[in-house]
Amino acid sequence: MINMYQTNLPPPPIPPRLGSVKSAPGPGHNKPLLGFLIGMIVLQMLLLLGGFTYLYHKENKYDEDFEHKYLDDMIVLRRLGECEKDSQSMLDCEKLVEKYKNIMEKVSEVEGKAVKLTGGLLSNGAMARMIVKQPVVGALPSSKYLEWNIGHSVLRNVQYFKSSWLKVQQSGDYDIYSQVAFSKWHPKTPLASRVKLRKGETGEEKNLMTAYCSLGDQNRTDVCTAFQGGVFSLEPEDQISVWVTDPSLVNYEEGTTTFGLYKL
């Protein structure tokens, strides 16, 4: 008999089910999305580059404006330190003192505007502007440290300590200045004023700055001014004061003898 159920031919393929075959996306299907992403990246880079360029030019312009506006004031402050070394004539130093007064007036005006804008005193600033206290007529000075009229002085975040000393409450860099006018001549000792610093009430005193002036001789009736100013780093509880050769030789006319500091 012949076996009709055996054959060498392969079986026919199984037909696919309905909906199981999906067409592959064409090569241009993702091009719009890719172009959009590239465009966003390029736009973001351009915006960042433009922002950095704007800030760079704005900062340079601010520096140029600041230097142009305050260059003269900075030169005056730098040259004041040279007066202490006697590298300039007394007349030049007196002119510098007048310019420094104008700078201090500018600072006061800025502070006044800031107070108006904020509605009160600036809480973070520290400053002192002291007016010398008139001595009692006929009374001998108790020490060589000047005393200050607290009723006419201005203090902010600085304490007044034992009639002569200012106690710092905030650490930082301070612009310290003193101006002492002498109207009497001393036969043996130069007319000098010194800004003293001590660490606490019992700390050792040291000289921060020293300034001299000269009336020539006892027949002169002029007034000479010893001015000094500089920037120093201070810590809380640091105390500063002004020492003079002889308080009885000081001119106590209003505005001639002052002392103060500003936190930078």
Q: How many CB atoms lie within 10 A of CB 249?
A: 17
Contacts of 5 (CB under 8 A, 6+ apart): none
Q: Indicate if the pLDDT at residue 100 is higher than 70.
A: no
Contacts of 107 (CB under 8 A, 6+ apart): 262
Which amino acid is present at 76?
A: V
Residue 233 backbone dihedrals phi, psi, to 5 degrees: -90, 125
Q: What pTM was estimated for this model as a whole? A: 0.53
The residue among 186, 184, 166 whose CA lies nearest residue 176 is: 166
The residue among 187, 253, 188, 244 whose CA lies nearest residue 219 is: 187
Q: Indicate if the pLDDT at residue 4 is higher than 60.
A: no
Give the integer Cα–Cα distance in Å for 234 and 176.
10
Q: What is the pLDDT of residues 105-145, one digit of tens each?
A: 666 566 555 555 555 444 467 889 998 988 877 777 778 89
Give the integer Cα–Cα distance in Å for 232 and 166.
14
pLDDT-derived band of residue 84, with 50, 70 and 90 as boundaries? low
Give the integer Cα–Cα distance in Å for 89 and 76.
15
The residue among 152, 162, 100 whose CA lies nearest residue 128 is: 152
